[in-house]
Amino acid sequence: MIEFKNVKKYYKMGNNIIKAVDDISFKIEDGKCTVILGPSGSGKSTTLNLLGGMDTVTDGMIFLDGEDITKLNEKELEDYRRKKIGFVFQFYNLIQQLTVRENVGITADMVTESLDIDEILDGVGLKERKNLFPQNLSGGELQRVAIARALVKKPRVLLCDEPTGALDSETGKLILKLLKKVSKENNISLIIVTHNASLEKIADKVIRLKDGRIVSDVINENPLEIDEVVW
Amino acid sequence: MKYLNIKMLRDMKQNFTQFIAVFLMAAISVLIFSGMASVWTGLNKVVSDEVSDTNMADYYIKALGITGEDKEKLLKTDGIDKVSLSAEYTFSASDGQSEINITTVDSYDVSSFTLLKGKELLLEGQGIYLDSDYASEHNLKTGDILKIDNIAGECIEIEISGLVHSPEYFYFTGAVTETVPNYEKYGYGFVSNQTFEKLCMQLNYTTAKVKGNYISETGDFEEIFGERFICVQDRGDFAQYSRSEKESSQMKKMATLFSAVFILLSLLTMYTSMVRLVDRQKEAIGTMKGLGVKTKQILIHYASYGIFVPLLGGILGLIIGRFTVSKALMKVKQTTLYLPEWKLIHSPYSFVLIAGIMICCVFASVMAAKKVLKGNPVEIMRGNTNNSKMKKEVKETSLINHFPYGLRLAFRNIAQNKIRFIMGIVGVMGGMVLIIAGFGVKDAINSSNEFVFSKQFTYDIKGILKNSDVELEDVQYLYETAIELQTADEIKQTSLSSFEAGEFYNFYDNKENKIGLPDKGALISRHLADEMGITAGDNIKIRIPGRNEWINIYIQNTVKMLSPQGLFISKTALENAGAAFKRTGFVTDSHDANYYSDISGVKNVITRSEQLENTELVADSVMSIVKLLIMASVLLSVVILYNLGILNYVERVREYSTMKVLGFYQREIRSIAILECVITTIIGWVLGLILGRIFLKVYIKIISFDTFEWLSDASIATYVIASVIIIGVSLLVNLLLAHKIRKIVMVEALKSVE
């Protein structure tokens, strides 16, 4: 279970205080797919960063499996990110000098019980491309590598920041399918941050943000299959 | 352009480290070079001005009893324009503490002097025109009375008419036993013929100072002077003058060779810094191009990156160099050279250097910008202009698959950024080479002095005789004289040292096996032998001053004799060759120095430790330059390594932040980040050790005076110090980078991925 309790994140910019996240509270159940939706500047990426242990709160508490991560020190946050969080970036952020297999392998080496690298590459359909360098892959393939990299260490939570933002609609759908499939298979909580409203239909839960505040927090009883969604 | 200039200033602020590195490298390069160049340019100017103002002689013809008639004959010789006859003798001051070399002339047409204070120069008159440095050391001024013992031992009082300086005394040590000027003990002066006669009881001109473009052929002079002819010397062979040229040339060689490596390193680093700086501006360049800014304007904008920073650095180097390097160097040179005044004059080459640095930086920025500008705006903004040099695929069987990921990453980074890698190696290697050379020169001087004064010479006291018929007990007599040495290819002025049987001079072959003086033939110092292409078994010819014929000498061996450079021959061998052994000095370990200096036939006496001290004083002059070079090398190494480290960091910060987000520990990221630096440092260090040794050998050979061979063996400590400095700096830079990696703000770093 993930829980945000009265979380605030304020930045000081000159003489102004920017309220990136302003007193938000929500809960996410394990193994579910959650979409955090909102326009630019709504605070969705900040929310993701706070949950990913990449940024610190100004106030409030964030729980994962009952542990308040806002109380963790730098070293503990490293362990937290290493063992519990998988991250998929909008622009993939692969290491250009490592091959597909190596990009996944270097992350697998971080944990003692990782998934099998070749199996997971097979799972994301990159078995035949594993010895290529990122520069030789298409956007969809790059994102699949990024997903494989995030999943290989069996994280508790998979955080995806606009995972389809740089992809065409068909490839985007394929990636979403893959994300849902692998997270379900591995009982991983999937959290997708996006400004694309079409994605709300596939989620188990949708949280809408605006100006750093939650405007709605809705459970979707009947999420659609990806192919049913009009992009 | 106004907004582009604002952009430039902001870019400078944003890339402060790289710009400050370029600024510092330009400043240090110019500071070192111009600082030294100002001294030798000033020295050369003062020397050439005084040589011209005093109409200094081009040739010195030595003969006995030169007459007016001889002078007339000389003036009729083709190529001789002016002649002055001179006689000189060294008298003791009446207090017995110092000696004054006094000259009288028949005219001051040739080789006059600079009157610094006092009455107008007169040929007649009773006064003396005294060496101003000697006068200042003895608190004497014009109008004071100088008391000198004449040849008969009577005290003669002479009024000081003026204080002077002569270019013929730029490097005046007073006695052959002394190696550095000592104003307290030795001075010089000029008097009229009448005053000279009062002192010497007679007047015999022994030198004809000649002005003209006469080509040195002794045949003509032998015809004029017959048996009275001794030798002819041109100005370059006149040690009291030529030392100034040699010092200037040594300083020039030291600074130029060192600066060349130094500047090359700076230029390479500045070049790559500028290229990488512009390369990171792809987005801005693409945007500008997309907005319609003309290519020419964009190029001018980036060219301006390479103009202002190096220019300001160069100007600062020029200013600081004058107040630090120049002043320090000049102060040291003042202890070994007598000049009427010391001037610092900016060398035109310093300005050429600044221009060169600017051209290099402008060229680098413009070329980098041109390369980026090749694509269309969208491609440029996406950063697609540089097609990656990575290969497409790695085979399953590839050896690299067995390496840890960190190492694979480092190797591929290196393969992808060869220039960056080579620059890193060159930076480390260059730093090593410069530091080894700097400390190596210190080692060379110390080990050479150690060899000369503890292995070559084992006497306690060396004395110079007034007359060759003095009889002393328990001494080894020497005959030391200047000679002309002739091979099939050339004639060179050098020295001959001949010895009676004794154990105070030791000779070693190249493997440092001790060898004795043979009864037949001579030994030759290896430095001179190399210079003249003489080897063991050769026959050469020598001519001793005062004798017209050439004497054949067989070279038995070349010896590791560092100083003096010349021929070494036993008394027996010299006499067998047909020359007379005339005692000019002695060495001994009996009695103390005072005992011998009190003997009337002994002119002066010096102990081995005093000789060593004098040599060390000369060495200090060289060391002062070396210290500056060492300081600059260390500073340059710090700047280069820090700059390279920072550039690597800036270019890979996204990679590090991604790793951080993915959950890599600090130490894992740090080890990946420094692995490339470690590889670079190790390769640069090993190459630096090898090249440093080679460079030192070449450097020592070039900067050595032809009268003293310096050994080029750097001590282990030098290699250790250079390694500690370079590896230490490299580690320090890595620590700083590790700190930076720790401080990476992941969220910020991952923004604006495009």
B455-479 pLDDT, tens digit each: 999 999 999 887 788 888 889 999 9
The tens digit of pLDDT for each residue in B576-609 reads 998 999 999 999 998 888 888 888 888 888 899 8
DSSP string, B63-95: EEEE-HHHHHHHHHSTTEEEEEEEEEEEEEBTT
Separation CA A81–CA B68 (nearest Å): 104
Cα–Cα distances (Å) from B344 to B179, B325, B377, B624, B686, in that order, read 26, 11, 53, 17, 40
- Contact criterion met (CB < 8 Å) for A110 and B754: no
**Is A18 touching B (CB cutoff 8 A)?**
no
Nearest-angstrom CA–CA distance, B462 and B542: 26
pLDDT in tens, B381-428: 766 544 455 567 777 777 878 888 888 888 888 888 787 788 888 888
B83 vs B57: CA distance, rounded Å? 8
Q: Does A17 touch chain B (CB under 8 A)?
A: no
- pLDDT of residue B287 exceeding 50: yes
Answer yes or no: are the C-beta atoms of B539 and B468 closer than 8 Å: no
Using one digit for the tens of pLDDT, what is the confidence trace for B291-311? 878 888 889 988 888 898 899
Query: What proportions of chain B, in percent to the nearest 5, are helix, strand and coil?
Result: 55, 20, 25
Query: Taking Cα atoms as reference points, which of B358, B360, B365, B361 lies closest to residue B279?
Result: B365
User: Among residues B111, B113, B145, which one has the least CA distance to residue B131?
Assistant: B113
Is residue A87 within 8 angstroms of chain B, CB to CB?
yes
Gyration radius (Cα) of chain A, Å: 17
* Residue A182 Cα, gap to closest chain B Cα (Å): 18
Q: Is the residue at B134 inside a domain?
A: yes
Which portions of chain A are predicted below pLDDT 50? none
Does the pLDDT at position B754 exceed 50? no
Closest CA relative to residue B712, chosen from B496, B441, B449, B480: B441
Whether residue A41 lies within 8 A of chain B, CB to CB, comes out as no
Distance in Å, alpha carbon of A181 to nearest chain B alpha carbon: 21
In chain A, what are the domain boundaries? 27-43+81-228
Count how many domains chain B has. 4
Report how far residue B169's alpha carbon sits from residue B373's, in angstroms, rounded to the nearest whole number: 64
Q: Which residue has the tokens 């210190």?
A: B442
Of residues A216 and B272, the one with the higher pLDDT is A216
Mind listing the pLDDT tens digit for each residue in B674-733? Answer: 888 888 889 999 999 999 999 999 888 877 777 788 888 889 999 999 999 988 888 888
The size of chain A, in residues, is 231
- Residue B282: the pLDDT is 83
Burial of B540: CB neighbours in 10 Å, binned 0-12, 13-18, 19+? buried
SS (H, E, C) B184-231: CCEEEEEECHHHHHHHHCCCCEEEEEEEECCCCCHHHHHHHHHHHEEE
**Dist CA B622 CA B12 (whole Å):** 40
A97/B390 touch (CB, cutoff 8 Å), yes or no: yes
How far B396 CA lies from chain A's nearest CA (Å)?
8
* 3 state SS of B570: strand
Instruction: Tell whether A93 lies on the interface with B, counting CB pairs under 8 A.
Output: yes
- Tell me the pLDDT band of B484, cut-offs 50, 70 and 90: confident
Distance CA A159, CA B71 (A): 105
Q: Residue A147 in contact with residue A116, Cβ under 8 Å? A: no
- Which CATH number does the domain housing residue B488 bear? 2.40.70
B750 contact residues in A (CB cutoff 8 A): 89, 93
Residue B184 shares a structural domain with residue B64: yes
Residue B109 lies in a domain: yes
Contact of A224 with chain B, judged by CB distance below 8 Å, is answered with no
Task: Kindly report the nearest CA distance between residue A69 and chain B, in angstroms.
Answer: 15
Q: Which residues are A18's β-sheet partners?
A: A11
Task: Note whether residue B44 is domain-resident.
Answer: yes
Could you tell me which of B424, B439, B430, B432 has the C-alpha nearest to residue B726? Answer: B432
A47 touches chain B (CB under 8 A): no
Q: Average pLDDT for residues B363-369, to the nearest whole number?
A: 88
Q: What are B222-245's pLDDT values in tens digits?
A: 888 888 888 788 888 777 888 788
* pLDDT tens string B318-358: 999 999 889 888 887 777 777 888 899 999 999 999 999 99
Q: What is the DSSP letter of B57?
A: -
Mean pLDDT of B199-211: 91
CA distance A157 to chain B (A): 12
Q: Quick check: bond before A155 cis, omega within 30?
A: no
pLDDT over 80 (residue B485): yes
**Rounded distance between C-alpha atoms, residue A164 and residue A143, angstroms:** 8
Least Cα separation, residue A91 to chain B (angstroms):
7
Give the mutation candidate from B675, B750, B751 for the A interface (greatest A CB count, under 10 A): B750
The pLDDT value recorded for residue B558 is: 94
Q: Cβ contacts (< 8 Å) between B659 and chain A: which residues?
A: 95
Domain A27-43+81-228 class? alpha beta
Residue B547 has pLDDT above 80, yes or no: no
The distance of A193 to chain B (nearest Cα, Å) reads 15
Are B747 and A133 a contacting pair at CB < 8 A?
Answer: no
Q: Does the residue B465 lie in any domain?
A: no
For B727, the domain range is: 403-455+609-754
Over residues B616-635, the mean pLDDT reads 77
Q: Which residues of A touch B747 (CB under 8 A)?
A: 49, 54-55
B446 and B478 both lie in a single domain: no
Residue in B closest to A88 by C-alpha? B662
The two beta strands, A213-219 and A67-68, are unpaired
Of A95, A131, A153, which is closest to B396 when you measure between CB atoms?
A131
- How much is the pLDDT for B359? 92
Average pLDDT over residues B628-634: 81
Q: Which two tokens stand for residue B498?
A: 């001949």
Same domain, B509 and B546: yes
Whether residues B623 and B674 share a domain: the answer is yes
Mode of pairing for the β-strands spanning B522-525 and B551-559: parallel
pLDDT band at B546 (very low <50, low <70, confident <90, very high): low
B90 within 8 A of B100, measured Cβ to Cβ: yes
What is the predicted pLDDT for the residue at B217? 61
B688 in any annotated domain: yes
Which of B661, B665, B753 would best serve as a mutation to test chain A binding (most A beta carbons within 10 A)?
A: B661
Does B216 score more than 60 pLDDT? no
> Considering CB atoms only, which of B405, B409, B754 is closest to A109?
B405
Residue B45 lies in a domain: yes
Chains A & B: contacts with CB separation below 8 Å: 85
Which residues of chain B have a Cβ shorter than 8 Å from any chain A Cβ?
Answer: 388, 390-396, 405, 408-409, 412-413, 416, 654-655, 658-666, 668, 746-747, 750, 753-754
Q: What percent of chain B is modeled with pLDDT above 70?
A: 95
d(CA A191, CA A174): 17
- Indicate yes or no: CB of A133 within 8 angstroms of CB of B754: no
In a domain, B396, yes or no: no
pLDDT band at B650 (very low <50, low <70, confident <90, very high): confident
DSSP class of residue B124 equals: S
CB under 8 Å to B510, separation ≥6 — which residues? B526, B558, B560
Angle between helix B2-14 and B16-53 (nearest 10):
100
Indicate yes or no: CB of A49 within 8 angstroms of CB of B413: no
Computed on alpha carbons and rounded to an integer, the radius of gyration of chain B in Å comes to: 33
Which residue in chain A has the smallest CA separation from B397?
A: A131
Residues B382 and B340 in one domain: yes
Domain membership of residue B552 (yes or no) is yes
CB contact under 8 A, B405 and A98: yes
Write down the pLDDT at residue B634.
83
Test B390 with A110 for CB contact under 8 angstroms. Answer: no
Residues with Cβ < 8 Å from B701, sequence gap 6 or more? B712
Q: CA of A109: which chain B residue's CA is closest?
A: B405
Q: Which two tokens stand for residue A14?
A: 């000159």
- Give the count of alpha carbons within 13 A of B592, CB side only: 1
Which tokens sit at B612? 């060593």
In B, which residues are within 8 Å of A93 by CB distance?
654, 658, 661, 750, 753
- E runs forming strands in B406-521: 461-465, 476-486, 491-499, 507-508, 514-515
What residues of chain A, 136 to 195, have a C-beta less than 8 Å from chain B? 136, 149-150, 153
Assign B168 to helix, strand or coil.
helix
Burial class of A206 by CB neighbour count within 10 A (0 to 12, 13 to 18, 19+)? buried
- Return the sign of the alpha-carbon dihedral for residues A131, A136, A140, A143: positive
